[in-house]
Amino acid sequence: MSELEGSGYRGKALELLKQAGCSVGDILRLTRKDKTYEGILIPRSGDGTAIIIKMQSGYNIGIEATDDLSVEKTGKGTKPTFASPPLPKQNPLLPHVVIMSTGGTIASRVDYRTGAVRSAMSANDLYGVVPELADISQVDTEIAFSIYSENLRQQDWSELANKVAQCIQKGIDGVVIAHGTDTMAYTSAALSFALQNLPVPVILVGAQRSSDRPSSDAATNLIGAVKAAGEAPFAEVGLAMHDTISDAAIAVYRGTKVRKCHTSRRDTFQSINDFPLAKVQNLQLTLPSNNYRKRDPKRQLVLKPNFSEKVALIKFYPGLDPAVIDFYVERGMRGILLEGSGLGHVSKFCFESIKRATAKGIVVAMASQCIWGRVNMNVYDTGRDLLGLGVVSLEDMFPETGLVKLMWALGQTEDPQQATDLLKTNIAGEYSTRTLPKEEKLYYRGEP
Q: HEC states along the chain?
A: CCCCCCCCCCHHHHHHHHHCCCCCCCEEEEEECCEEEEEEECCCCCCCCEEEEECCCCCEEEEECCCCCEEEEEECCCCCCCCCCCCCCCCCCCCEEEEEECCCHHHEEEECCCCEEEECCCHHHHHHHCHHHHHCCEEEEEECCCCCHHHCCHHHHHHHHHHHHHHHCCCCCEEEEECCCCCHHHHHHHHHHHEECCCCCEEEECCCCCCCCCCCCHHHHHHHHHHHHHHCCECCEEEEEECCCCCCCEEEEECCCEEECCCCCCCCEEECCCCCCEEEECCEEECCCCCCCECCCCCCCEECCCCCCCEEEEECCCCCCCHHHHHHHHCCCCEEEEEEECCCECCHHHHHHHHHHHHCCCEEEEEECCCCCCCCCCCCHHHHHHHHCCCEECCCCCHHHHHHHHHHHHHHCCCHHHHHHHHHCCCCCCCCCCCCCCCCCCCCCCCC
Q: Is the pLDDT of residue 244 over 60?
A: yes
For residues 432 and 17, what is the distance between their CA atoms, to the nearest angstrom?
A: 60
Question: Is pLDDT larger for residue 11 or for residue 391?
Answer: 391
| Residues above pLDDT 90, as percent of the chain | 67
pLDDT at 192: 98
For residues 367 and 402, what is the distance between their CA atoms, to the nearest angstrom?
A: 7
What are the C-alpha distances in Å from 391 to residues 46, 175, 354, 364, 385? 46, 37, 8, 5, 9
Window from 23-27, 129-133, 149-153, 218-222 with minimum mean pLDDT: 129-133
Tell me, what amino acid is at 3?
Answer: E
Q: Is the pLDDT of residue 234 over 70?
A: yes
So which residues are the catalytic ones? Answer: 105, 181-182, 260
How many C-beta atoms surround the C-beta of residue 154 within 10 A? 20
Q: pLDDT band at residue 44, thresholds of 50, 70 and 90? A: confident
| Chain segment 330-367, per-residue pLDDT in tens | 999 999 999 999 999 999 999 999 999 999 999 999 99
Window from 256-265, 313-322, 406-415 with minimum mean pLDDT: 256-265
Q: Is the pLDDT of residue 320 over 60?
A: yes
| Chain segment 417-431, per-residue pLDDT in tens | 999 999 999 999 999
Q: pLDDT band at residue 24, thresholds of 50, 70 and 90? A: confident
Q: Is the pLDDT of residue 123 over 90?
A: no
| Chain segment 286-317, per-residue pLDDT in tens | 999 899 999 999 999 999 999 999 999 999 99
Question: Is pLDDT larger for residue 436 or for residue 234?
Answer: 234
Window from 103-112, 347-356, 363-372, 394-403 with minimum mean pLDDT: 103-112
pLDDT at 281: 93
The b/e string for 81-98 (b: 16+ C-beta within 10 A; e otherwise) is: eeeeeeeeeeeeebbbbb
pLDDT at 447: 40
Question: Is pLDDT larger for residue 190 or for residue 11?
Answer: 190
**Structural domains of the chain sorted by starting position, each given as residue range(s) with its CATH number in brackets:** 11-75 (2.30.30.520), 96-303 (3.40.50.1170), 311-424 (3.40.50.40)
